[in-house]
Amino acid sequence: MDREFTANPSQKEMQEAENAFHLLCGDDYTEADVIIDRFSQNSHRYEKVLGKMNFSGHTQCAQSAADWFPKNRHDVYILDVAAGTGLCGDELRSQGFRKIDALEPSVQMLEEAKKKGIYGRYFSVMLGENSVDIESDTYDAVTISGLTVVIMKKLPRKAFEELIRIVKPGGYIINATYHKIFPEDGDAEGAIFRNNMKALESQGKWTLVELRRFKDYLCGDDGAVSVHKVL
Ligand SMILES: C[S@@+](CC[C@H](N)C(=O)[O-])C[C@H]1O[C@@H](n2cnc3c(N)ncnc32)[C@H](O)[C@@H]1O
């Protein structure tokens, strides 16, 4: 049994899990590379910490992927972005998807994912201003489950343009995150994210085909899965 988090956690264990969780989340002032380093340091206990926080982003993200690909899922080629230890990849496999690659900047998180043997290719890459070394029009879909929200909110438009570039026209970008960053009157820090979503739509690069709100994404907050169709 894990010595840090047991099946019936004591108050102390819950407190430790919460502390680890808040450290991983960072805040609006924490640099992206600091957060990624924290994931690396905590890769061995990431799944237990998120389990204690009742995280459901991975199941909701995979459910939406299944909804948008009702047939022939074994032929659908997916890139799981911010793949972490492979929680979303696991759920995608449970839904019948078989061709899944992983993109994740933390080598230690990727090492945990590799133990599961669920991904084909591994890209140790951070989404941002950089180009991603993947051919255009490669994937039928990109999934993103739980990309740290303070990072998501500040991602430059280039990051989304890269995802659009590597997804085939007609494919989908499926993103499970907090609901609160989507509404126009949502938190001010989410304005860059919302502007990026809209600008790419008005430039004719993608179109929003679903925004599904759900309960209990993380620590009791509502989540949402956005599904953008690449044009
Ligand atoms: C909360 S975990 C989610 C992992 C996994 N998708 C899941 O559902 O459990 C967030 C992950 O996002 C990764 N991440 C952070 N910034 C990123 C970026 N700019 N590009 C890609 N992944 C990033 C972190 O390294 C971390 O593994």
Q: Please tell me the pTM assigned to this model.
A: 0.95
Whether 92 is in the pocket of ligand 1, judged by its Cβ within 6 Å, is no
Question: What are the residues whose beta carbons fall under 8 Å from the beta carbon of 193, sequence distance 6 or more?
Answer: 152, 153, 154, 155, 181
- C-alpha to C-alpha distance for 51 and 56, rounded to whole angstroms: 9
Q: Is any ligand 1 atom within 6 A of the Cβ of residue 9?
A: no
CATH of the domain at 183: 3.40.50.150
- For 95-149, the pLDDT digits (tens) are 999 999 999 999 999 999 999 999 999 999 999 999 999 999 999 999 999 999 9
- Kindly state whether residues 89 and 15 are assigned to the same domain: no
Regions in the chain scoring below 70 on pLDDT:
1-9
49 touches 78 (CB < 8 A): no
Structural domain of 33: 11-52
Dig out the tokens for 127 from the structure: 């989404």
CB 153 within 8 A of CB 190: yes
Nearest atom in ligand 1 to 36's CA: 25
* Within a domain: 1: no
Strands (DSSP E) found in 39-98:
77-81
CA of 199 to the centre of ligand 1 (A): 24
pLDDT at res. 1: 39
Residue identifier of the C-alpha nearest atom 13 of ligand 1: 82
Asked whether residue 2 is domain-assigned, the answer is no
Give the count of domains, the chain.
2
